[in-house]
Structure 1
Amino acid sequence: MTTVLPARRAHEDVVDAWTRLSAASGAVARAADLVASLPAPPARTRGQRAATAAAKDAARALRTRFMDVYADAVYDRLTADRTLDLRIAELLEAAAAELPGLVPDAARLAAERSRPQAAKEGDEIDQGIFLRAVLRSPTAGPHLLDAMLRPTPRALRLLPAFTRTGVVEMDAVRLERRDDGVARITLCRGDCLNAEDSAQVDDMETAVDLALLDPAVRVGLLRGGEMSHPRYRGRRVFSAGINLKSLSSGDIPLVGFLLRRELGYLHKIVRGVLADHPGQWHSPRVEKPWVAAVDGFAIGGGTQVLLVCDHVLAASDAYLSLPAAKEGIIPGVANFRFTRYVGPRPARQVILEGRRIRASEPDARLLVDEVVEPEEMDAAVERSLRRLDGEAVLANRRMLNLAEEPPDAFRAYMAEFALQQALRIYGQDVIAKVGRFGAGPGGSDRVAPGGG
């Protein structure tokens, strides 16, 4: 039976509204009780799987209808009328405490984290329902995006030491600022070809924050370091994209990786970091131009990074790809940005059919500004950094980004992405595919020997 929600009454307590609605429907409690009575998902019979799916669908339909009506009221309740800047993880934690059953609580999430992807219940889908409604809202959505543009506490702790020494060494990323005003971010997960996991996303956001907050930095550079992986030992590699082994083992969370990556360091490269500083009266965000240098390959998330940079170089033997069809997931915000660069037909060829673009192809010039021989990369990178070092460059990139990627259009995309990506990572086709890909060294089965 479908529960019909009345129009929201003025000054209605949103917690009371959810409590009454969930109690009247019973859908949330029935789904929870059924799941608790059954074995883990892989051990369920076909009938049990069908019953569980039906119960979860009823509960999710209820949550969707509730959030369609109450998203702004819920958000205002959790953020004290938008006076608190809560990141998505903090917002969901507050929602779980204030509105039990609307999103998974800490205990449910901890139980899910302990399981491989194939054995999870898919509780993150309920987080996607919640975040889609919040991001859709023209009131709550922009406030949440701004909260995600604020510097992380980790970056603020490291900032004094970085401004003094010009160096920060992290597990996945090395950040160095030289006298030329360039912040050089080197991806250094040599064992797995810079395949991204949650730890690397944390390191990347920290590094981007530090580069943006340091007044001595004028330009940022992203480049892969030398690899220790046996296939590419001693060679630079940009990125093998998402770590498929981590995805298969259940260690790629919706909030901590898939959404934080897009709304965190990638969005900060586009828009800048939101900083409270009197000198920023003309713009609330600190922005800087970015250069990306591709050695070897930029696969999946690696290519997504290129789409937010102002100048991209690639070695002539490098290639780019977005193997979404191969894996079954959505390639981040590439569906939103890629057509702008290459046009609709090539975008579908790359995203839907898995086409790989080599730097030597004419179409590569739609994605890459310069293609140079591998031995000439260092000199070409330095030249590009000097060209982007200027106040006029900074002002014009801001206007270009505003015209090319309006904030409301980005927000609308991210609202739908929050739910659709949550559904995809629990799709049976994805679970089967990443189980095979994740068997390779470092989760990098995307890469054939020699980069072919």
Structure 2
Amino acid sequence: MNAGTDLNSARRMLMEFTGTVDDALAVLPEPADRSSEQRRQADDAKRAAALVRRQFLQAHADAVYDQLTDGRTTSLRLAELSGAAAVAFPGLVPTEAQLAEEQTRTQAGKEGREIDQGIFFGQLLRSPAAGAHLIDAMLRPTPRARLLLDRFRQTGVAELGSVRLERRCGTAYVTMCRDDCLNAEDNSQVEDMETAVDLALLDPAVRVGVLRGGEMSHPRYRGRRVFSSGINLKSLHAGRISFVDFLLRRELGYLSKLVRGVLADEAPWHAPMIEKPWVAAVDTFAIGGGAQLLLVFDHVVAGAGSYVSLPAAQEGIIPGVSGFRLTRAAGPRIARQVVLSGRRIWAQEPDARAFIDEVVDERDMAAAVDRSVERLDGPAVVANRRMLNFAEESPDAFRRYVAEFAVQQVIRLYSEDVIGKAGRFRARSSAAG
């Protein structure tokens, strides 16, 4: 696509070309039923369409974003932006109907239309103008949090499904309570976590936040608290982990808010964000996404027998933004050992200091958390953490990293090794049934 083509002409060319690709795919069998030759034909067609989409956005990303957001006067979240783009620029991203059809399939049976969303968001985030505005849009409170805020301020309790939020003595206690799956994250838990973080940040009666895992019903950990076992692999293999609503939203939503705060009208004049210090408590383990979480907290307390690990490379995916944060916290050698080789680090090892600040006997966790809250509940803490976070993770560096992450993660999501694991998981599940 010619970079000098005006937006309307380029839009028409995009629609016509991607339309022919959709027509070619429509005459082929379902993805899981295609022969080797048919898979090659489909891959060639999708690769050509991906190149056209990327070229279109390389030339017109800012113009596309400005049209979708009324010149950056409207803040659209990821899913809203993708939906608006599907209507305004046919063929650029999957339509609502196409996404709905994909959601009915296992990961191995999907067409891979989310890859087009990865191209879309990757190019938008590469733009300093569009990318910065999109990141700010994702820092705004969710509509669900706004709806629940008054009641939470009155009662101090919010039961969100997979997460429980309770305010006590100026502290917001966020408890992950998916006892059925050892707090493995899926789309719904990302939604619940962002809502809880929003409520804690928006409530002026909250001064410090605490995140801890609840007690489990799993036979191996019955009655014990578990922080997180990472991404829900069962949901991933079943095709129920969304690129936009989980993998990208998680990084630009609640994790980013833990670092930077929430962008809200209630913020003071001297800072656009409402920020608060956060404590994490790890009783047994923090695997995958759980370990990623620890890298954004101001103080992490862990039980003496606990451990952290980031087995994303073994699972076939990228561990969020932890490659960016862990290299800074632990250094490049340890980061490679953890991310590439799946090294497990126990809380009492010296290298655990990259994730954990304080190691205590598991029976003393509650008291240690209380001490941490007391230390962070000071008038100068917020201003100082803001400056520390700005020095350690500039918004522009974060934007550039997430732009590349968006593309690489969605490609990994539909790579042969991940698809193969999905197929083997389905086969094992069928045999067990």
| TM-score bracket for this pair, using the shorter chain length | over 0.9
Q: Which of 156, 171, 184 is residue 182 of structure 1 equivalent to?
A: 171
Is 1:183–1:219's contact at 8 Å kept on the other side of the alignment? yes
Is 2:184–2:232's contact at 8 Å kept on the other side of the alignment? yes
Structure 1, residues 251-299: CA drift from partner, whole Å, max 9, x if none? 001000001100000000000000013x621111100000000011000
> Which whole-Å CA distance do the structure 2 matches of 1:130 and 1:21 have between them?
13
Q: Which of 360, 366, 373 is residue 354 of structure 2 equivalent to?
A: 366
> Which whole-Å CA distance do the structure 2 matches of 1:421 and 1:201 have between them?
17
Structure 2 portions without partners, runs of 5+:
none
User: Amino acid of the residue matched to residue 407 of structure 1?
Assistant: P
Partner of 1:450: none
Partner of 2:3: 6
> Which whole-Å CA distance do the structure 1 matches of 2:174 and 2:321 have between them?
22
Structure 1, residues 352-371: CA drift from partner, whole Å, max 9, x if none? 01100011212112321000
| Secondary structure, counterpart of 1:377 in structure 2 | helix
C-alpha spacing 1:249/1:260, structure 2 compared with 1 (3 Å): same
User: Amino acid of the residue matched to residue 340 of structure 2?
Assistant: L
Partner of 2:219: 230
| Secondary structure, counterpart of 2:341 in structure 1 | coil
Q: Which of 282, 285, 293 is residue 281 of structure 2 equivalent to?
A: 293
Q: Does 1:397 align with 2:385?
A: yes
Structure 1, residues 365-419: CA drift from partner, whole Å, max 9, x if none? 2321000111111111100110000121111100000000000000001111111
Partner of 2:24: 34
> Which whole-Å CA distance do the structure 1 matches of 2:427 and 2:261 have between them?
38
> Which whole-Å CA distance do the structure 2 matches of 1:123 and 1:366 have between them?
37
Partner of 1:168: 158
Q: Does 1:137 align with 2:162?
A: no
Partner of 1:219: 208
Partner of 1:281: 269
> Which whole-Å CA distance do the structure 1 matches of 2:367 and 2:2 have between them?
63
Is 2:306–2:346's contact at 8 Å kept on the other side of the alignment? yes
Partner of 1:429: 417
- Offset at residue 15 of structure 1 (A): 3.8
Q: Does 1:122 align with 2:112?
A: yes
Structure 1, residues 203-255: CA drift from partner, whole Å, max 9, x if none? 00000000000000000000000001122110000000000000000000100
Is 2:156–2:168's contact at 8 Å kept on the other side of the alignment? yes
> Which whole-Å CA distance do the structure 2 matches of 1:116 and 1:420 have between them?
21
> Which whole-Å CA distance do the structure 1 matches of 2:167 and 2:350 have between them?
35
Is 1:155–1:209's contact at 8 Å kept on the other side of the alignment? yes
Is 1:213–1:286's contact at 8 Å kept on the other side of the alignment? yes
C-alpha spacing 1:287/1:437, structure 2 compared with 1 (3 Å): farther
> Which whole-Å CA distance do the structure 2 matches of 1:298 and 1:439 have between them?
29
Q: Which of 264, 269, 272 is residue 261 of structure 2 equivalent to?
A: 272
Q: Which of 242, 248, 252 is residue 259 of structure 1 equivalent to?
A: 248
Q: Which of 376, 379, 386 is residue 388 of structure 1 equivalent to?
A: 376
Structure 1, residues 10-38: CA drift from partner, whole Å, max 9, x if none? xx4x3443113543xx3x12321121111
> Which whole-Å CA distance do the structure 1 matches of 2:428 and 2:248 have between them?
25
User: Amino acid of the residue matched to residue 166 of structure 2?
Assistant: E
Matches within 5 A, 1:63-142: 63-142=53-132
Structure 1 portions without partners, runs of 5+:
442-452
C-alpha spacing 1:440/1:168, structure 2 compared with 1 (3 Å): farther
| Secondary structure, counterpart of 2:281 in structure 1 | strand
> Which whole-Å CA distance do the structure 2 matches of 1:115 and 1:173 have between them?
27
| Secondary structure, counterpart of 1:371 in structure 2 | strand
- Kindly report the root-mean-square deviation, in angstroms, between the aligned alpha carbons of the 2 structures: 1.4
Q: Which of 187, 199, 212 is residue 188 of structure 2 equivalent to?
A: 199
Partner of 1:146: 136
| Secondary structure, counterpart of 1:139 in structure 2 | helix
| Secondary structure, counterpart of 2:220 in structure 1 | coil
Q: Does 1:159 align with 2:152?
A: no
C-alpha spacing 1:440/1:237, structure 2 compared with 1 (3 Å): farther
| Secondary structure, counterpart of 1:256 in structure 2 | helix
C-alpha spacing 1:438/1:305, structure 2 compared with 1 (3 Å): farther
User: Amino acid of the residue matched to residue 91 of structure 1?
Assistant: L
User: Amino acid of the residue matched to residue 2 of structure 2?
Assistant: L
Partner of 2:304: 316
* Residues paired across the two proteins, number: 429
> Which whole-Å CA distance do the structure 2 matches of 1:255 and 1:148 have between them?
12
> Which whole-Å CA distance do the structure 1 matches of 2:116 and 2:74 have between them?
23
> Which whole-Å CA distance do the structure 1 matches of 2:425 and 2:178 have between them?
18
User: Amino acid of the residue matched to residue 395 of structure 1?
Assistant: A
User: Amino acid of the residue matched to residue 252 of structure 1?
Assistant: I
> Which whole-Å CA distance do the structure 1 matches of 2:225 and 2:348 have between them?
18
Is 1:15–1:99's contact at 8 Å kept on the other side of the alignment? no
The alignment-based identity, stated in percent, is 64
Matches within 5 A, 1:406-421: 406-421=394-409
> Which whole-Å CA distance do the structure 1 matches of 2:188 and 2:14 have between them?
39
Partner of 1:17: 10
| Secondary structure, counterpart of 2:380 in structure 1 | helix
C-alpha spacing 1:434/1:182, structure 2 compared with 1 (3 Å): farther
- Offset at residue 7 of structure 1 (A): 2.1
> Which whole-Å CA distance do the structure 2 matches of 1:420 and 1:238 have between them?
27
C-alpha spacing 1:107/1:274, structure 2 compared with 1 (3 Å): same
Partner of 1:446: none
Is 2:312–2:318's contact at 8 Å kept on the other side of the alignment? yes
